[in-house]
Amino acid sequence: MKKIRIIFYLFVVLGNAVGLADVDSQLSGEWSPGCVMAEDATFGLTESLTLNATDYKMVSIIAAGAGCSQPLYRMEEFGKYGVGPAVSSISGAHEFNQTIEKILFTLFDAGYAQSYNDDNWCGFSDWAVGIPKDISGRTCRQSVHPAHGATRFGIYRVDTVGGRLALSLGRGDSTHDGQSPTRRPVELDDSILPKK
């Protein structure tokens, strides 16, 4: 069975010319584009980011079927965030630091659970359908997930797109992976998360 691996790195990038207090109030709520199907329509991805005054929750679900109707697995990341000063190189962008509390991974397909057990994925050989595992700080194949208490250094920007607020994400690369303040992303990703 072909496995899909998600490396869930979020470098949030927000952007219009508003004051910092306005930006903070705009961040609260849920941001999600809904189900986005792969070109071959075999699998879909649903991502969301929920923010309140200090806490965040990121969710990524890979699913089969039209409209992401058959979830295969879910990754959830929980933590605290803080907004920093404006980023001079990107108009309207601000620093966005996330401190990870935990990363949970849940399988919803028995075939995937068996395959993950056979591979000892993330160091576990007891994967079961519907039972989340904390993969914080673990290496899952080539993906190293941040540990409890690790900080991710990102940027964000909020724009108005089609009459709705939309959150843009920083595009990470090998030298701008958010692992330190000097390694923040320096450009925006093409994808956006509309506010629900």
Number of domains composing the chain: 1
Q: Considering the domain boundaries, does residue 73 fall inside one?
A: yes
Q: Considering the domain boundaries, does residue 144 fall inside one?
A: yes
Q: Name the strand (E) or helix (H) holding 190.
A: strand 188-194
pLDDT of residue 155: 92
Confidence of residue 97 (pLDDT cuts 50, 70, 90): very high
List helix spans (H) across 7-157: 20-27, 110-119
Q: Which of 122, 134, 131, 128 is nearest to 110 (CA)?
A: 128
3 pLDDT exceeds 50?
A: no
182, β-bridge pairs: none
- State pTM to two decimals: 0.84
Q: Considering the domain boundaries, does residue 120 fall inside one?
A: yes
21 pLDDT exceeds 60?
A: no
What is the separation of C-alpha 6 from the centre of its chain, rounded to a whole number of angstroms? 10
Confidence of residue 23 (pLDDT cuts 50, 70, 90): low
Confidence of residue 78 (pLDDT cuts 50, 70, 90): very high
Q: By mean pLDDT, which of 14-28, 29-43, 117-131, 146-160 is the weakest? A: 14-28
User: What gap in Å lies between CA 195 and CA 141, rounded to an integer?
Assistant: 33
18 pLDDT exceeds 80?
A: no
Q: Considering the domain boundaries, does residue 6 fall inside one?
A: no
Q: Considering the domain boundaries, does residue 19 fall inside one?
A: yes
124 pLDDT exceeds 50?
A: yes
pLDDT of residue 166: 93
Q: Considering the domain boundaries, does residue 139 fall inside one?
A: yes
The more confidently predicted of residues 19 and 188 is 188
Mean pLDDT of 117-129: 97
Q: Considering the domain boundaries, does residue 3 fall inside one?
A: no
Q: Which domain holds residue 113?
A: 11-194
Q: Considering the domain boundaries, does residue 5 fall inside one?
A: no
135 pLDDT exceeds 70?
A: yes
Averaged pLDDT of the chain: 86
The more confidently predicted of residues 191 and 75 is 75
